[in-house]
Amino acid sequence: MKQHLLNDSLARRLRAGKPVSAAWAQLGSNVSAEIFAEAGFDALIIDMEHGPWDMQNTLAAMQACKGSGCVPFVRVPWNDMVWCKRALDLGAGGVHVPYVSTREEAEYAVRCCKYPTAGGVRGIAGSQRAVCYGLDKADYYARADRDIVVMVAIESPEGVANIDAIAAVEGVDGIFIGPSDLSTTMGHLADPSQPDVQAAIRTIEAAAKAHGRFLGTIAPDFEGAKKLYDRGYSLVYFMSDTTSLSALARGAVQAFKDSYPE
């Protein structure tokens, strides 16, 4: 299936609030990206905010998804026009914008992902991978502003206070809740279990649903993700090529030590 048809299908599912499976690509490896894609994940989120990704290995990871049915998204390093443009020119089907705290920041994130004809500031290029190096320009230009998913992350008390205005911004498709950053900015270091953090999360959830935006977040495994899907989330990142592998490795080593103690 052509990439633009995959993007359209995934965007429609998310905007309809349907569950979509997703994994983090955080190692900077096109091989782990290929494994996730071939395993059947709907979306792969390339983490340029915290992972060791540059543009070349981001390109390789996107190429590793091609033909698998998996749509590559990019968590850009910051709410920045250049980063959004470069991720989209590589062929990202969606952009995860971190640390959005005001309506103005949400509006800027949307403009970064839209062409000027749709009120945005995204530069246009007819030679990049997104347009199949010039072979698919007309089709891409016709559907990019419609099909590219824009998701903004709420990770601060200011973002919670402004969530109704943020969720109301036209062009914001989804609201991502970053539980570790949110809890830390609320004074609880990586501890979203605190009652005030949970209350803030419920406030974000309610605003997103009220404005018809899909909800996204993370979970440590599918069991945790299922609870979130059942609560109305659409995009849950429930595997990672770092933490999932490290947990498997630690468990295997511990099993060895339990069987063969010194």
Q: Are 51 and 26 in contact (CB under 8 A)?
A: yes
> For this structure, is 4 an active site residue?
no
Do residues 93 and 71 touch, judged by C-beta distance below 8 A?
yes
DSSP 204-248: HHHHHHHTT-EEEEE-SSHHHHHHHHHTT-SEEEEEETTHHHHHH
Catalytic residue (choose from 50, 96, 188, 211): 50
CA distances to 12, 62, 140 from 93, rounded to whole Å, are 12, 10, 11
Length of the chain: 262
| CA-to-CA dists, residue 167 to 82, 93, 171, 253, angstroms | 23, 20, 10, 45
Neighbour-count burial of 258, counting CB atoms closer than 10 A to its CB (0-12 exposed, 13-18 middle, 19+ buried) = exposed
**Residue 81 and residue 121 in contact, taking contact as beta carbons nearer than 8 Å:** yes
Distance CA 224, CA 246 (A): 18
Q: Taking phi first (over 0 means left), then psi (-120 to 50 degrees means alpha), and beta for anything else, what does residue 99 get?
A: left
Residue 230 CB partners (closer than 8 Å, separation 6+): none
Catalytic residues, which ones? 50
